Structure 1
């Protein structure tokens, strides 16, 4: 089963092997915010901003989720790191 980022019914990302891979992409893209409820004030949980969703998806023809993940991991390693 492959997963992707969606807004309403539009698939916004490539397909990835796991839901965790798409969460990583969404976090890197600034689409994840911390939300709290009255019961969770001490530990906020991450949620997607603006009604984005991560859900199972159909693969496009010739799409390879493992290759998409490898490409994203390689790009992340090549990006310059900003010092704080």
Structure 2
């Protein structure tokens, strides 16, 4: 089942093969923040501003595996800041 990033009912990202792939995209986009809860002392990552990662319907001719491969290739080409 493919997953994507949503805000309310609007699909904001391409579809990716797994939920973990969308978390990676959200982290790179600056949409993940660390939250502290009363139950756990260590911070845990959450999506900022009511964004959600959910299962999604594919657009016509959309290929989640290709979307992931394209994102991985782009990530390798981006300059890294130290």
TM-score under structure 2 length normalisation: 0.98
1:33 is aligned to: 33
The reply to whether residue 5 of structure 1 matches residue 32 of structure 2 is: no
Matched, 1:81 2:80: yes
Corresponding residue of 1:55: 54
Task: Give ranges in structure 1 of 5+ residues lacking alignment.
Answer: none
Question: Counterparts of 1:64 and 1:38 in 2: how far apart (Å)?
Answer: 41
Q: Give the superposed CA RMSD.
A: 0.5
- SS where residue 24 of structure 2 aligns? helix
Deviation at 1:32, TM superposition (A): 0.2
CA deviation after TM superposition for structure 1 residue 51, in Å: 0.2
After superposition, the C-alpha distances for 1:20-72 in whole angstroms (9 at most, x for unaligned) are 0000000000000000111212x111000000000000000000000000000
Which residue in 2 is equivalent to 1:17?
A: 17
What number of residue pairs does the alignment pair up? 82
Q: Runs (4+) of structure 1 moved beyond 6 Å?
A: none
